């Protein structure tokens, strides 16, 4: 295995590790937002830390990492957190309110920064990331996402997860592959709030989607999010019909 580095938007780097141990192949992607204060979105799993940290060091020195953030607490999102905190002495955890209250104080070897409120912007110097609460979307009570404002890049975590050996960045459809992967893994938490939460993200009008598992997407992010919301709506209605 190796970790490939690609700049998917100005100063936003995708660190991608492909494994064929999962059917059809699967990518684990972290995103480095290289502001003056560098931020990493997703720590990656502990076992991938040697690969991912070597990849990040090709872009910036590890010690320059200031923030480690992720969509929710789970092995691939937060597993290597403490390895990063050890490697980068100035790094702190930056996640939302539930993430700090439920897990942050217990799981991190250093106290997290005060919780990022819904809509709060973290100014990285040259880059600005806005935290958005998305509870249970696509999964995890503490779920949230980051929107990098200067490049209109939505770091959308597990949303749009799709498997396969994919390019770093695509302009092709990502909704169809994500829907097929949902059929396979059922990784999303379907509630009445799922589609409306995804539609709220569409109002950000992202030009790039940084997808944690799969290719990143360049193009009309709002249209992709609306189509993903339609897919979730269809699934939710079908689940209600099936229960009646």
Which residue, 42 or 127, is less far from Fe ion as judged by CB?
Answer: 42
Rounded Cα distance between 207 and 4, Å, is 22
- Is residue 83 at the binding interface for Fe ion, with CB under 5 A as the rule? no
Per-residue CA distances from 181 to 2, 40, 162, 163, 199 (Å): 24, 26, 5, 7, 20
Rg (CA), the chain: 17
Q: Applying CB under 5 A, which part among 113-121, 176-184, 204-212, 223-231 lies near Fe ion? A: 204-212
The residue within the footprint of Fe ion, chosen from 74, 83, 133, 182 (CB under 5 A), is 74
Coil, strand or helix at 68: strand
The residue within the footprint of Fe ion, chosen from 37, 133, 148, 158 (CB under 5 A), is 158
- Is residue 148 at the binding interface for Fe ion, with CB under 5 A as the rule? no
- Is residue 231 at the binding interface for Fe ion, with CB under 5 A as the rule? no
Q: Applying CB under 5 A, which part among 79-87, 156-164, 196-204, 223-231 lies near Fe ion? A: 156-164
Q: How far is the CB of 241 from Fe ion (least distance, A)?
A: 27
Rounded Cα distance between 120 and 124, Å, is 13
Which residue, 190 or 212, is less far from Fe ion as judged by CB?
Answer: 212
Q: Which two tokens stand for residue 17?
A: 């590790």
Which residue, 13 or 35, is less far from Fe ion as judged by CB?
Answer: 13
Q: Applying CB under 5 A, which part among 31-39, 167-175, 196-204, 211-219 lies near Fe ion? A: 211-219
Strand 153-155 relative to strand 121-123, pairing:
unpaired
Which residue, 33 or 211, is less far from Fe ion as judged by CB?
Answer: 211
The residue within the footprint of Fe ion, chosen from 15, 38, 76, 115 (CB under 5 A), is 76
Rounded Cα distance between 107 and 226, Å, is 35
The residue within the footprint of Fe ion, chosen from 15, 169, 212, 224 (CB under 5 A), is 212
Q: With contact defined as beta carbons under 8 Å apart, do 112 and 98 qualify?
A: no
DSSP string, 178-198: HHHHHHHH--S---TTHHHHH
Q: How far is the CB of 238 from Fe ion (least distance, A)?
A: 23
Residues that bind Fe ion (CB under 5 A): 74, 76, 158, 212
């Amino acid at each position: 295995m190796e970790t490939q580095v690609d700049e998917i938007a100005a100063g936003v780097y995708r660190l991608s590790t492909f494994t064929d141990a999962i059917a059809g192949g699967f990518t684990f992607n972290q995103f480095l937002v290289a502001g003056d204060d560098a931020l990493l979105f997703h720590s990656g799993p502990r076992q991938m830390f040697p690969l991912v940290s070597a990849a990040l060091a090709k872009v910036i020195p590890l010690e320059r990492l200031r923030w480690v953030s992720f969509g929710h607490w789970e092995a691939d999102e937060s597993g290597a957190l403490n390895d990063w905190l050890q490697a980068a002495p100035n790094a702190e955890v930056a996640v939302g309110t539930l993430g700090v209250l439920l897990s942050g104080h217990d799981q991190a070897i250093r106290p997290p920064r005060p919780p990022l409120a819904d809509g709060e912007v973290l100014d990285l110097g040259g880059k600005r990331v806005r935290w958005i609460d998305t509870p249970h979307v696509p999964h995890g009570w503490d779920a949230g996402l980051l929107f990098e404002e200067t490049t209109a890049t939505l770091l959308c975590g597990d949303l749009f997860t799709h498997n396969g050996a994919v390019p770093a960045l695509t302009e092709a459809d990502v909704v169809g592959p994500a829907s097929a992967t949902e059929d396979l893994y059922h990784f999303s938490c379907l509630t009445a709030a799922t589609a409306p939460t995804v539609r709220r993200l569409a109002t950000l009008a992202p030009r790039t989607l940084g997808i944690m598992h799969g290719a990143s997407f360049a193009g009309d992010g709002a249209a992709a999010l609306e189509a993903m919301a339609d897919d979730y709506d269809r699934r939710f209605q079908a689940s209600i019909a099936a229960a009646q």
